[in-house]
């Protein structure tokens, strides 16, 4: 065990959900009568809170149209879209092994909403693995480090006792802002070169390699 606390991003790090996010955001933009959004532009904002993602994707959008887009995204993600989402292969086994450690704590820091994360926890039974979590709608969005600061305060640990694991520069930069070690994973949405700019202490190219490293193997 390298760190008493491991904090994971969700989308693109633990769950293969980028395809669903892209298709839902594109459908929501059409519903809100905004211009067509490219796959790459949507993938770029995965990890941000939804208001921040919409502002980045749609510069100049007015508040009413932005709210319409937000509502339609929520509809498509929960009800209208059937693009499959599942954990990346090996994630469930890895989390189970980490959770079994006597002194190991696990947490989630995600751009999802609290409602969305809790729904995924219920549907997958994965909430049992985590000692704490923060979502973008109950604190500040990444890359601001407040969600990490709040998790550390809740669990009574310092930044030096924790590591952030993520697939985007937003994950890594919020950890970097408070001097927390960070691990990049390359199977998500940001390319390795972009992740490298945040100086991760380790870059994992496979799920087994990530969990082996976290366990000090």
What pLDDT, on the 0 to 100 scale, is given for residue 85?
81
What pLDDT, on the 0 to 100 scale, is given for residue 168?
96
* Dihedral, CA of residue 109, residue 110, residue 112 and residue 118, to nearest 10: -40
Show the domain range for 176.
5-16+87-214
What pLDDT, on the 0 to 100 scale, is given for residue 81?
65
Same domain, 98 and 69: no
Is 137 noted as a catalytic residue in this protein?
A: no
Omega of the bond leading into 143 within 30 degrees of 0 (cis): yes
Both tokens of residue 12?
Answer: 């693109």
* Dihedral, CA of residue 42, residue 85, residue 188 and residue 154, to nearest 10: 100
- The single residue of 9, 81, 167, 171 carrying the catalytic annotation is 9
Phi–psi pair at 172, nearest 5 degrees: -70, -35
Look at residues 49, 80, 111 and tell me which one is the last residue of a structural domain.
Answer: 80
Q: Is the pLDDT of residue 140 over 80?
A: yes
What pLDDT, on the 0 to 100 scale, is given for residue 35?
86
Q: Could you give the angle at which helices 50-57 and 63-75 cross, rounded to 10 degrees? A: 120
Same domain, 111 and 197: yes
Q: How many domains are contained in the chain? A: 2
Look at residues 63, 80, 97 and tell me which one is the last residue of a structural domain.
Answer: 80
Please report how many Cα atoms fall inside a 13 Å half-sphere around the Cα of residue 108, on the Cβ side: 27
Question: For the whole model, what pTM was predicted?
Answer: 0.91
Longest dimension (CA), the chain: 52
Question: Where in 127-217 does DSSP place strands (E)?
Answer: 132-135, 162-166, 181-185, 202-204
Is 40 noted as a catalytic residue in this protein?
A: no
- Of 97, 95, 100, 105, which Cα lies nearest the Cα of 4? 105
Mean pLDDT of 190-196: 95
Look at residues 31, 58, 80 and tell me which one is the last residue of a structural domain.
Answer: 80
If one compares 134 and 50, the residue with the highest pLDDT of the two is 134
């Amino acid at each position: 065990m390298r760190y008493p606390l491991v904090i994971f991003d969700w989308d693109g790090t633990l769950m293969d959900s980028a395809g669903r996010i892209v298709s839902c955001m594109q459908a929501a933009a059409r519903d809100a009568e905004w211009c067509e959004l490219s796959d790459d532009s949507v993938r770029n904002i995965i990890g941000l809170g939804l208001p921040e993602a919409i502002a980045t994707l749609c510069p100049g959008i007015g508040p009413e149209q932005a709210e319409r887009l937000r509502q339609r995204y929520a509809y498509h993600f929960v009800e209208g879209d059937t693009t499959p989402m599942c954990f990346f292969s090996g994630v469930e086994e890895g989390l189970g092994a980490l959770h079994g450690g006597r002194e190991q704590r696990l947490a989630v820091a995600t751009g999802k909403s609290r409602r969305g994360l809790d729904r995924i926890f219920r549907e997958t039974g994965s909430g049992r693995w985590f000692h704490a979590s923060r979502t973008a709608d109950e604190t500040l969005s990444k890359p601001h480090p407040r969600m990490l600061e709040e998790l550390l305060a809740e669990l009574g640990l310092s930044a030096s006792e924790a590591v952030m694991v993520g697939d985007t520069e937003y994950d890594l930069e919020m950890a970097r802002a408070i001097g927390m070690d960070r691990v990049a994973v390359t199977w998500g949405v940001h390319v390795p070169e972009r992740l490298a700019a945040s100086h991760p202490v380790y870059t994992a190219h496979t799920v087994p390699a990530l969990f082996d490293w976290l366990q000090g193997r």
